[in-house]
Each structure stands twice: as C-alpha cells, then as structure tokens.
Homo-oligomer: A and B are copies of this chain.
Amino acid sequence: MTAHAPALAVAVLVYDQVEELDFVGPYETFQVAGQQSTDLFGRPDPAFTVFTVAETTDLLRTRGGLLVRPHHSFTDHPPVDVVVLPGGDATGQSGRPAVLDWLRGVVASTTLTTSVCTGAFLLGALGLLDGQPATTHASALDDLAATYPAVDVRRGVRWVEAGRIITSAGISAGIDMSLYAVSRLFGEELALRTAAYLEYDWHRDPVRR
C-alpha cells in the first residue's frame, strides 16, 4: 500500500451494549489518521473513511448508556476494507445468526479484520481464529480459551497479528491496535503523527503492557 493508494473504508460494528471506548477509540484513531494523511502525503482525500454499522440504523444504547445512531445497516453499507469488532456484549452478539452471517460476508473481502476486547469472540464463533494466535480483555482470556479451544490465546500483549486478522486486548488497547493498523497500511510516520495528535502514548511494542 502506498501513500497515494485509494482511501480505505473502515466499518466499525456497533450494537446494543457495545463498550463505548472499544469502538470510539478505533473510530477516532482512523478518522484522525485520515485527516493527518492529507497533510503528510499531500493527498486530496483522507486515507480513511470511517463509519458505524449495525443490524439496523435504530438508535442503540452502549454498555455505559450512550445513545448512538449507526450510520448504516447490515443490508445497506459501502464496501468494507477494514472492519473493527468492538467488545462489550460481544459474546451475546456471537450467538446471533444475523450478525455472524453479515460478518462472514464482510471478512471474506477485507484487507484487515480487527477486534477489540471481547470482539474476538465474534471471530472465534466463525472459526477464524482456529490455530491462530489471538487475544482479548484480560478478564476474558480464560473464557476465550475455554469457548474456542482451537485458538492459541496470547496473554500479556496489547494486540496480536495473524495475517489479515489483528485482535487486541481490552478497551484502550484498541487505540494501540488501530495505530498499528494505520502503520501497516500507510506507514509508521502516519501512525506517529496520529498518536501525536491524539496525545496518546502509543504502545509500539505489542508485548509491552
């Protein structure tokens, strides 16, 4: 991918009882990376466009009670290059055929498929983590290993990369993972500028907690 590659569409899944910082951390990170990319690369358009997607566009309530209206529904959204699967009640979502059917279709053609916190359970439910290294929120590591025994669950990491899939640890680790995704897609300088604008101390080494 080069600095002048076409913009990538980032779809952030939202649902009732989604953990708000799980999805807003990546949302903000990719948005700011898009803004910074026009300055850094002299692009006419941001390198990322970002939107939320849910089963319907009805107003939903996050775990902490924020009221959010999704931009798009499962049946009416632009093509997706990068998908972000946040946690919260992701285990509940992982039992819902409508969600799994949508996700199976989307991940078939993404450049990157990412999860934050318990969002990894959605990937586990599709079998996408079988035989692969993956991580989740510290409090859910044992549950991930018990629910999906074929997954190589990693502890003490901020994120884990397995080909086109990146899973991250809990809540704020989604920001570190997103910065890494920006770096992988458009280079480290864009990720560093994005972290500087966010005034965020990026964990560039995923093994450091």
Contact = CB atoms under 8 A, between A and B. Distances in A.
Contacts of A170: 197-199
A147 B175 CA distance: 32
A90 interface: no
Contact of A200 (B19, B20, B172): B172
A173 B139 CA distance: 25
Interface in A160-209: 169-173, 175, 196-201, 203, 209
A118 interface: no
User: Size band of the A side of the interface?
Assistant: 35 or more
Given A171-B198, A199-B138, A200-B171, A50 B65 contact: yes
Contact of A66 (B52, B199, B201): B52
A68 B65 contact: no
A27 interface: yes
A67 interface: yes
A68 B141 CA distance: 32
Contacts of A203: 201
A204 to B, nearest CB: 13
Contact of A24 (B24, B50, B201): B24
Interface string A12-27: 0000000111001101
